[in-house]
Amino acid sequence: MIRKTRLFTPGPTPLLPAAQFAMAAADIHHRTPEFRALYQKVLAQLKVFVGTKNDVLLLSSSGTGAMEAAVSNLTSPGDNVLVLTAGKFGERWVDLAKAFGCQVDVLKAPYGQTFDLAEVRKTLKPEHRVLFVQATETSTAVRHDVEALARLIKEVSPGTLLVVDGITGLGTTHFDVDNWGIDILIGGSQKAVMIPPGLAYLSVSDKAWAAMEKSKNPRYYFDLRKERKNALKGESAYTPAVALIAGLGAALDYIAGQAGGDLEKGRIALVNNAQVNAAATRAGLVALGFTLFAPTAPAAAATAVAVPEGMDSSDVVKALKTRFASVIANGQGEMKGKIFRIAHLGFFDFLDTIALLGAMEHIAKDTLKLPVRYGQAVAAAQQVYADAVKS
């Protein structure tokens, strides 16, 4: 039988065909009026996509490059910072802040859970120059309450900068960047914006720009002040990933096109799409006998489920690839073999969800020997969809 290759991983995600065509056609030099027009258009679209009046900058790097830029531009060696971590990407903030000589306080939540806000309140101090957190912790598929954290900062320590890794949060979570007061919010190209890896984008508040003037950590390629100066002229400081930028423009056009050309409405529709597909996936997998790994604060970016005791999630990942040419993600680090993760961010629709759940019924029955009735997972997902379109 024919098996179409399908990605269900939380980065890279499936590519939008219109973006692929735009990338193939992007034979332009980066110091020309043609490129400047493209760059200015994409930067303006990104502002709407992020939903902010703040500057939005593009970097030719993977998402971690923008995370590093946030650390190197905002901190000085010896600065006290607070990292809230509940998974592998939170741990990346810890490593990055240490690499730049920060004195790092860490507040941890167990894998699969989010933070206790009372504990954050107790831990956060005015000495903390920056609070680093994820919007969605992709390694555990947990959503953190960025709005509540931002409110807490305003109450407890208004001088602290709030830096949010929204790499899988953007396009799957509603943010009100300016009203909440997010100083830096970071996105990545291989996630909800439907193009390959290689670009990161970030919004930067006035408070963050002011802080940058005082920070003493070294930066060169990721000097945000230099990027901002160049962006004002419609250029990037160095040779940018031109093809990816052309693809990003096409993808943002597509997202706007989902709501009659209104990018803000298109962004909201994209978030709602992820939320419905995530809810349908959770319902389907629970109906099959799996346990949600993040039951209390599930992200819409991805769903993580635990396999029953004594079983290995690697078998599920392998069987889906072999039988259905579909790629899902295993657990990272210590979670490998215990959970698997299915993405909903970006170019996924409800039919993708139904197809995957149909395949999962076979895997659960044949590979894991669970007592499956065909249609069980699909029926649960159908109900979620029906309820969602009614409301």
Binding site for ligand PLP (CB under 6 A): 10-11, 62-64, 89, 134, 138, 165, 167-168, 188, 197
Q: Is 13 or 157 the residue whose CB approaches ligand PLP more closely?
A: 13
Q: In this chain, which residue has its C-beta nearest to ligand PLP? A: 63
Q: Is 245 or 256 the residue whose CB approaches ligand PLP more closely?
A: 245
Q: Are 241 and 159 in contact (CB under 8 A)?
A: no
First-residue to last-residue Cα distance in the chain:
39
Q: Is 134 or 376 the residue whose CB approaches ligand PLP more closely?
A: 134
Q: Is 248 or 363 the residue whose CB approaches ligand PLP more closely?
A: 248
Q: Are 161 and 317 in contact (CB under 8 A)?
A: no
Which of these, 216, 256, 248, lies nearest to 102 by C-alpha position? 216
Rounded CA-CA distance 93/114 in Å is: 16
Q: How far is the CB of 210 from ligand PLP (least distance, A)?
A: 26
Largest CA distance in the chain: 63
Q: How far is the CB of 118 from ligand PLP (least distance, A)?
A: 25
In sign, the C-alpha dihedral spanning 308, 313, 315, 318 is positive
Q: Is 195 or 368 the residue whose CB approaches ligand PLP more closely?
A: 195
Q: Is 59 or 354 the residue whose CB approaches ligand PLP more closely?
A: 59
Count Cα neighbours of 35 within 13 Å in the Cβ-side half-sphere.
19
Under DSSP, the state recorded for 15 is: P
User: What tokens appear for 176 in the block?
Assistant: 């009100």
Neighbour tally for 78: CB within 10 Å:
9
Q: How many residues does the chain have?
A: 391
Which of these, 55, 136, 67, lies nearest to 96 by C-alpha position? 67
Rounded CA-CA distance 138/333 in Å is: 13
Q: How far is the CB of 329 from ligand PLP (least distance, A)?
A: 10
**DSSP reduced 3-state for 339:** strand
DSSP conformation letters of 291-320: EESS-SSB-SSEEEEEPPTT--HHHHHHHH
Q: How far is the CB of 138 from ligand PLP (least distance, A)?
A: 3
Q: How far is the CB of 197 from ligand PLP (least distance, A)?
A: 6
Q: Is 146 or 167 the residue whose CB approaches ligand PLP more closely?
A: 167
Q: Is 299 or 364 the residue whose CB approaches ligand PLP more closely?
A: 299
Q: How far is the CB of 234 from ligand PLP (least distance, A)?
A: 25
Q: How far is the CB of 139 from ligand PLP (least distance, A)?
A: 8
Rounded CA-CA distance 47/30 in Å is: 21
Q: Is 114 or 157 the residue whose CB approaches ligand PLP more closely?
A: 114
Q: How far is the CB of 134 from ligand PLP (least distance, A)?
A: 5
155 to 151, 159, 164, 182, 322: CA distances (angstroms): 6, 10, 18, 14, 53
Cβ burial, residue 323 (10 Å; 0-12/13-18/19+)? middle
Q: How far is the CB of 25 from ligand PLP (least distance, A)?
A: 25
